[in-house]
């Protein structure tokens, strides 16, 4: 958007240059038939659960501020994921917790490439330097290079999304352990996709006081609630709590989260379906001519096409199916990311992709 007048232009000039230099995190808002671009859980809750949720929400006193620490929701999540509620901080999505970590520690912030874009965007917005380290073969971490760069740059925080977005793989335990053992920086292990891999660094929290674990309710069916969670050693939790905005989780999200998390069987069934759908989708995609599919421990699959991926993504969108175009120079050349949908959505995605590739 162009500024309207010289007066506005001058005002915009007052905004910190780091912010003006940023590119906004782009969300495609095109209305589509099948939305497979944002790692949402495609299943809604059964009618009886929705009714229960509605009656809980009716009682929420929205004239009052929410519980400032989200105690009850913390306890629900603690019981779901075997965390210590006293060592947890809730965020308005894990995005907010990423921001709190960078705000508290400051940079240099070290990130592997490619990874989740918000680590770099938020660091830049907060005027903190970013150091990047390319992922190695099979998109695993090159621990030696990463440790060296962290030392040389005096990195204060390292973000490791494992499983990683957008590559879909979980970083090898050996590489992560080597990094945890050989850096003085805080190591954030972002386990946003934990439920689809089932493997976690959480049991090692006592052993590594420099480790911070992030999780989110977004990928398991509650993206609209905006609830992320952080757990770390008491010293880190104490400091981060100082900069957390008061009342950052609204009362409707707190109440809905507590109510929804009571239905573990429903949630687990949806996750199992998505995992088995991922396997089916991967099997078909990895045999499809013109496509390389990367193994995934998440609720999405990274694809590389032999022809122009952006053209394919546009054609898919034209057919009413939205997937993420990651195409650009570098390691994601001709890459697309598809979220696992319902069985019907996945079949329709495969059918449409095949037609597009056949007629290219």
Most distant pair of Cα atoms in the chain: their distance: 59
CB nearer to ligand PMP: pick between 95 and 297: 95
CB nearer to ligand PMP: pick between 104 and 350: 104
* Residue 345 in the binding site for ligand PMP (CB under 6 A): no
- Shortest Cβ 250–ligand PMP spacing (Å): 15
- Shortest Cβ 13–ligand PMP spacing (Å): 31
Q: Kindly report the number of other CB atoms within 10 A of residue 167's CB atom.
A: 27
* Residue 162 in the binding site for ligand PMP (CB under 6 A): no
- Shortest Cβ 161–ligand PMP spacing (Å): 4
Q: Which stretch binds ligand PMP (CB under 6 A): 16-24, 78-86, 91-99, 340-348?
A: 91-99
Q: Which of 116, 196, 201, 222 binds ligand PMP (CB under 6 A)?
A: 116
Contact set for ligand PMP, span 212-251 (CB under 6 A): 216, 218, 223, 228
> Residue 244 to residues 68, 89, 205: CA-CA distances in angstroms?
10, 8, 21
* Residue 192 in the binding site for ligand PMP (CB under 6 A): yes
- Shortest Cβ 88–ligand PMP spacing (Å): 14
* Residue 165 in the binding site for ligand PMP (CB under 6 A): yes
- Shortest Cβ 126–ligand PMP spacing (Å): 17
Residue pointed to by tokens 């239905």: 263
Q: Which of 140, 190, 325, 348 binds ligand PMP (CB under 6 A)?
A: 190
CB nearer to ligand PMP: pick between 191 and 277: 191
CB nearer to ligand PMP: pick between 335 and 356: 335
* Residue 95 in the binding site for ligand PMP (CB under 6 A): yes
Q: Which stretch binds ligand PMP (CB under 6 A): 3-11, 93-101, 135-143, 317-325?
A: 93-101
Q: Which of 42, 93, 108, 112 binds ligand PMP (CB under 6 A)?
A: 93
Cα gap 354→357, rounded to integer Å: 5
**Cβ(146)–Cβ(112) below 8 Å:** yes
Contact set for ligand PMP, span 8-47 (CB under 6 A): 39
Residues making contact with ligand PMP (CB under 6 A): 39, 93-95, 116, 161, 165, 190, 192, 216, 218, 223, 228
């Amino acid at each position: 958007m162009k500024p309207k007048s010289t007066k506005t232009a001058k005002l915009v000039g007052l905004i910190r240059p780091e912010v003006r230099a940023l590119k906004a995190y782009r969300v495609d808002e095109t209305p589509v038939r099948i939305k497979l671009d944002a790692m949402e859980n495609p299943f809604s809750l059964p009618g009886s659960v929705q009714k229960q949720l509605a009656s809980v929400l009716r009682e929420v006193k929205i004239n009052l501020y929410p519980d400032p620490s989200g105690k009850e929701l913390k306890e629900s999540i603690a019981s779901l994921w075997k965390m210590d509620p006293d060592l947890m901080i809730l965020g308005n999505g894990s995005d907010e917790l990423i921001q709190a970590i960078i705000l508290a520690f400051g940079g240099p912030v070290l990130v592997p490439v490619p990874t989740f874009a918000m680590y770099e965007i938020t660091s830049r917005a907060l005027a903190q330097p970013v150091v990047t380290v390319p992922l190695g073969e099979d998109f695993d971490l090159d621990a030696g290079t990463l440790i060296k760069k962290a030392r040389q740059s005096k990195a204060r925080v390292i973000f490791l999304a494992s499983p990683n977005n957008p590559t879909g793989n979980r970083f090898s335990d050996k590489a992560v352990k080597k990094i945890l053992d050989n850096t003085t920086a805080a190591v954030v292990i972002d386990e946003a996709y934990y439920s689809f891999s089932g493997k976690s660094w959480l049991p090692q929290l006592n052993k590594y006081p420099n480790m911070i674990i992030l999780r989110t309710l977004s990928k398991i069916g509650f993206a609209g609630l905006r609830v992320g969670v952080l757990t770390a050693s008491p010293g880190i939790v104490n400091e981060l709590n100082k900069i957390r905005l008061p009342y950052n989780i609204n009362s409707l999200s707190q109440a809905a989260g507590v109510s929804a998390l009571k239905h573990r069987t429903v949630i687990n069934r949806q996750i199992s379906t998505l995992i088995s759908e991922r396997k089916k989708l991967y099997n078909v995609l990895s045999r499809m001519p013109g496509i390389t599919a990367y193994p995934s421990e998440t609720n999405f699959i990274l694809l590389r096409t032999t022809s122009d991926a952006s053209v394919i993504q546009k054609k898919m969108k034209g057919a009413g199916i939205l997937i993420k175009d990651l195409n650009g120079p570098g390691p994601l050349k001709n890459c697309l990311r598809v979220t696992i949908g319902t069985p019907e959505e996945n079949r329709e995605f495969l059918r449409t992709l095949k037609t597009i590739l056949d007629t290219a």
